[in-house]
Structure 1
Amino acid sequence: MTDPGRMKTRLVIEAPVESDDGQGGVLRGYVPVATVWAAVMPDSVQHGVEADADGAVVRLRIVLRSGHALSLRHRLVDGDRIYRITALRDSADRRFTELHVDYRIT
């Protein structure tokens, strides 16, 4: 899927945690579970307005070594950028995981 030498970006994998808000609802937060090296490659950019939030959505493809139990509920963090996972799959040899992510630029 990728040359391991291209994995030059350090990302933090965060898992969702939920707690009772005391009023019948849920407070959702995230906790870091791992820090990984990854290859981050552009996929596409789409400009638009969604829920009164003008900005662009940047789509990226991220490849990292397998070994992390990821789901669409996890997210990746690179400094102030928060990547939302939209799709994921393992490579044929199961050595790598390919993620499709997006983040919003406002």
Structure 2
Amino acid sequence: MGLADFDPGQMSARLRLERPVATPDGQGGATIAFEPVAELWARIEPLAAVPEEMAGAGRVTVTHAVWLRFRADVTAGMRLVKGSRHLAIQSLRDPDETGRYLLCRCREEGR
């Protein structure tokens, strides 16, 4: 496996990393809110826009590859925020297993 080869200067998107926090709703369920963890630089690459129909309404699922500097505290289920855009982290991996970068597969929420 080769090294991930790109210019770190391409990490030009400023994102906020957020983690989910469950608050009991008093009826056996929970309300999920997100709290900030860190501000970081990233590279966002759009991957696909897939149209689908849900409950008779059309919608588009947009996916992205997001490159971050390696952090041990990032997990699937967290999200990245850029302005009003929310990118839910679906999966992540260290692309060249050197501990330099994380490559996150994200689904854009609210589109």
TM-score, scaled to structure 2: 0.86
Task: Please say if residues 61 and 107 of structure 2, whose CA atoms lie closer than 8 Å, have aligned partners that are also in contact.
Answer: yes
1:98 and 2:98 aligned: no
TM-score, scaled to structure 1: 0.90
Task: Please say if residues 56 and 104 of structure 1, whose CA atoms lie closer than 8 Å, have aligned partners that are also in contact.
Answer: no
CA distance in 2, matches of 1:88, 1:24: 31
Of 5, 10, 17, the residue aligned with 2:14 is 10
Percent identity over the alignment is: 33
CA distance in 2, matches of 1:81, 1:53: 21
CA distance in 2, matches of 1:77, 1:12: 5
1:34 and 2:38 aligned: yes
In the alignment, residue 90 of structure 1 is paired with which amino acid? D
1:86 and 2:95 aligned: no
Give CA-to-partner distance per residue, 1:60-81, whole Å, 9 cap, x none: 1100101241111101111111
Structure having the higher strand fraction is 1
43-52 vs 55-64, which deviates more? 43-52
CA distance in 2, matches of 1:53, 1:10: 33
Residue 36 of structure 1 and its aligned partner are, at CA, apart by: 0.5
CA distance in 1, matches of 2:57, 2:108: 13
CA distance in 1, matches of 2:72, 2:83: 20
